[in-house]
Amino acid sequence: MGCARDIVENAGVPRFWWSDFPLGHSAGKPFDAASQQQTLAGALALFDTATGPRTTQVSPQIWADDDAWKADFMDVSKLDDAAIAKLRASHEAVRATARAKQL
């Protein structure tokens, strides 16, 4: 499973479930069990459906209704310090929630 299609395909993996999601989200959308289950099921199905080496299967899931997220993803050049601080705080809150769920 992965999001960096060019890198993974260049490495020559035998089977690859590709999701057109932001880096770090190759297992599905965060906190979306249905997305994660669909991703895992698709990736596991490749063991039965791959017809040869270096098989890439494209996930039918979409990250958003349009591709605008791709232009803005990880581009902080358009953000001021306050916006970056707000995003950082939000990210840290999500990480804290994930850590708490792991306990």
**Which helix (H) or strand (E) segment is 55 a member of?**
strand 55-58
Q: What is the pLDDT of residues 49-83, one digit of tens each?
A: 998 889 999 999 999 999 988 887 778 888 899 99
Domain holding 7, by residue range, is 1-64
Residues 18 and 53 in one domain: yes
Residues 47 and 82 in one domain: no
Note the pTM of the prediction, 2 decimals.
Answer: 0.71
CA distance to 6, 15, 20, 42, 55, per residue, from 11 (Å)? 9, 11, 18, 21, 12
Residues 13 and 51 in one domain: yes
- Residue 103 clears pLDDT 80, i.e. is over it: no
At residue 56, the 3 state secondary structure works out as strand
Residue 102's pLDDT is 81
Residues 49 and 4 in one domain: yes
Residue 74's pLDDT is 76
- Residue 99 clears pLDDT 80, i.e. is over it: yes
Cα 35 from Cα 29, distance rounded (Å): 6
Residues 53 and 9 in one domain: yes
Residues 58 and 77 in one domain: no
Residues 39 and 79 in one domain: no
- Count of the separate structural domains present in the chain: 2
Q: What is the pLDDT of residues 26-35, one digit of tens each?
A: 999 999 999 9
The pair of three-digit structure tokens given for residue 58, joined into one six-digit string: 């494209």
Residue 52's pLDDT is 87
- Residue 14 clears pLDDT 80, i.e. is over it: yes
